[in-house]
Structure 1
Amino acid sequence: MRIIIVAAGPSEEVPLLKPFLFENTRVIGVDGGIATLVDQGIDFDLAIGDFDSLGHIPTGAILHPAEKDETDLELALRYVYEHYEVTELLIFGATGGRIDMTLQNVYLLKQFPEARLVTKQADVRFLPEGRYEIEAEQYHYLSFIPLVSTVLTLCGVKYPLMEQTVPVGGSLTVSNEWTRQRVADIRVQKGEILMIRSLAD
């Protein structure tokens, strides 16, 4: 099942959502993300959170206390994985505002690796060891941020690598680009990375 989660981050970071609403898509609003959905005229199937950002509790919502050990987004992700067979999961409204929340939301991708975090400018996903074919789609840049020292092979890109060890904190793998084929062959031979596709400036 295809799941869209809209969290409570600034609405200006959220693209138009209707193009993402395919058949058999479930839409989940997380706290203030409900306001973003309402502003875009999109119905939601479920609301989850403590609703301190929204200011009221939607009918039928799953309510959590304001003082808790997890963020509303993490609780929503856990709920999704417990109740749906997920084939694709897109998270919106998880960036902007407080930098601690943005970073934590990005790192949630490691716990929920099928998920993608989508903004107006970028698409972020977590890649553990394995081989991946990554299409450019509308994006121009392709960047890789290692979470640990990572051995990486990149083909089908402007700046290829062959079994290159990429350290944490280095900038070697930032702002790569696709070649004409517009499909990159990515191999994470050791380690783990965040992959970011982003639009041209």
Structure 2
Amino acid sequence: MKRCLLVGNGMKNPPQFLRDLAKSVDFVVGIDAGAETLLESGVKVDLAIGDFDSLKNKELLKRINHLEYPKEKDYSDTEIAVTHALSLGYDEIILTNMLGGRTDHLLFNLSILYRIFKEGKSGKFLENKEEIYIFDKSIEIKTDINDIVSIFPLLGKILFKDSKGLYYPLKGKSVELGETLTLSNYALSNSIYVEIENGVAILILKRIRPKYS
């Protein structure tokens, strides 16, 4: 599976987190000032994408491959980066430094996660303290005991076929927009499993102990 890492200009993760994450992928893209963050963290940037309006030092663009776009455009830098990653045939797209700051950016970035899903590819947000996944059948992820797990019904009503490793079992339950049944569940083991019968869900994992300090 070919994996691509997209690093944004949101809340910064620790440098070691970015270095280790970059080692697990085949291609690293810095989105706008995300390229600057990567270089400051000692990570090789395979490509920088954006209008670079947030870049403090534009001289660094002379040292890396980059695609520069005008500030006035119909698509966000993140969407352009995802489109490019999809065009290169990557099977899994990991986004990081995507949280914090503006709520509108977060909502639209989650919609981009859905776009990746619709393309038949794997997409997820991996942050030092939080992870966000999208799925329509089943999902199993590693956790620590007492990590907070919330499941958001992205499209219509979700019917749960099974769950394992959660404090509140979900088997036979359902949730739809406007309901909060699946907010703030807890992991009971080092992994959790959730299976749904229909719908598309966003799973948000909030770690009680960040991976890196």
User: Do the two structures share a fold, i.e. TM-score over 0.5?
Assistant: yes
Structure-1 separation of matches of 2:3 and 2:145: 21
C-alpha RMSD of matched pairs (Å): 2.3
Of the structure 1 ranges 19-28 and 8-17, higher mean CA displacement relative to structure 2 is found in 8-17
Distance 1:40 1:134, change over 3 A: same
Displacement after TM superposition at 1:15 (Å): 7.1
Structure 2 SS opposite 1:142: strand
Structure 2 SS opposite 1:11: coil
Number of corresponding residues: 198
Displacement after TM superposition at 1:138 (Å): 8.2
Structure-1 separation of matches of 2:82 and 2:42: 23
Structure 2 SS opposite 1:94: coil
Structure-1 separation of matches of 2:177 and 2:204: 16
Aligned 1:65-80 pairs, distance under 5 A: 65-80=70-85
Which residue is 1:98 aligned to? Answer: 102
Which residue is 1:9 aligned to? Answer: 10
Summarize deviations over 1:75-116 as a string: whole Å, max 9, x none: 100100101332x32111211111111221122111112111
Which residue is 1:115 aligned to? Answer: 123
- Structure 2 residues without counterparts, runs of 5 or longer: none
Q: Is the 8 A contact 2:146 2:187 kept in 1?
A: no
Which residue is 2:177 aligned to? Answer: 168
Within the alignment, does 1:178 sit opposite 2:183 as a pair? no
Q: Is the 8 A contact 2:4 2:90 kept in 1?
A: no
Q: Is the 8 A contact 2:144 2:187 kept in 1?
A: no
Structure-1 separation of matches of 2:171 and 2:53: 49
Which residue is 1:50 aligned to? Answer: 51
TM (norm. structure 2) is 0.83
Which structure carries more helix by proportion?
2
Distance 1:73 1:14, change over 3 A: farther
Pick one of 167, 187, 203 that aligns with 1:158.
167
Q: Is the 8 A contact 1:13 1:96 kept in 2?
A: no
Structure-2 separation of matches of 1:111 and 1:54: 27
- Structure 1 residues without counterparts, runs of 5 or longer: none
TM (norm. structure 1) is 0.88
Identity of counterpart residues, as a percentage? 26
Which residue is 1:133 aligned to? Answer: 140
Runs of 4+ aligned structure 1 residues displaced above 3 Å come to: 12-15
Structure 1 SS opposite 2:17: coil
